[in-house]
Copies of this chain bind each other. A is one copy, B any other.
């Protein structure tokens, strides 16, 4: 699901309160529109291994002036989460600890890649790849966890299965096809599996993922017609709108400006 951060901001503004707004953009930064200034976000947190296309190993915090001020005034003891020595040293080009240098060099290159493609084009690509993925899931006849299409995530699609344990689908995909799907977490364990579609990704990789997912569903015992999801995604990519998808698409586009985060 995508949280409509602009709406959250409006809700806060209308509440008469003025709390700090802290958001987790781990699965969205660099893949889905995010406007820290416009939405007056105080702290945004992400990791290196998603839309920033790097190996895992780093957390990245973007901290605005109101959060900094709160941090200065706060009197609770802290050590690891204390931003002050980091900020103080970084202003002179240093770190208070040994930094993960390879991730920093990688981050510089990742940002170059994102800006070379153009951030708008990156976001549009994720929209297109996610729309293709959702077209495939609809063709499979399986529900998506994000039942409201207008709020579906452009970086991840959680698919609900009813005839098999979703963990089995993930296991079979890994063992027989070398395909990494995600398991359902918490109370969704066994009921959904997740298809990731973010970062450095193109149409062929999405089609391969969908084709492999179809095989994994088939091998696991979930009744499915092989190829129908791939074909639906191909038709979407080729601009051959399916009836249902055709009607949904404009609505989804309109919704985009409002909702993402």
Contacts and interface: CB of A to CB of B under 8 A. Distances in A.
Give the interface SS of chain A, mostly helix, strand, loop or mixed: helix
Interface stretch (A116-124, A161-169, A226-234, A244-252): A226-234
Interface residues of A, number: 42
A101 B55 contact: yes
Contacts of A177: 202-204
Contacts of A214: 234
A259 to B, nearest CB: 26
A101 to B, nearest CB: 6
A45 to B, nearest CB: 13
A124 to B, nearest CB: 15
Interface in A39-62: 47, 49, 55-58
A57 B175 CA distance: 30
Interface of A: 47, 49, 55-58, 80-81, 98-103, 177-179, 202-205, 207-209, 211-212, 214-215, 218-219, 225-228, 230-232, 234-235, 237-238, 240
